[in-house]
Amino acid sequence: MPSLSTPYVAGAAAVLLSANMNLSSIEIKNILKDSPFKIGNPHEYGYGVLDLRGDIT
């Protein structure tokens, strides 16, 4: 069963690219990995909840 988070993460990557077209795929990956705030056990919740507010300028 695919993860429901997949379309959200893809959308977040698109938002990051629309804000800065010069971002590389590695930079986007790092932003997506560093931006979430933790909400519980990583085995149940993964990296956490995405929060891009500070990453979009």
In single-letter form, the type of residue at position 41 comes to N
Q: What tens digit of pLDDT does each residue of 5-29 get?
A: 888 889 999 999 999 999 999 999 9
For residue 21, give both structure tokens: 């077209």
Name the pLDDT band for 3 (thresholds 50, 70, 90). confident
What is this structure's pTM?
A: 0.76
Sequence-distant contacts of 25-32: CB under 8 A, at least 24 apart? 31/55
H-run or E-run covering 45:
helix 42-45
Q: Has residue 2 got a pLDDT over 80?
A: no
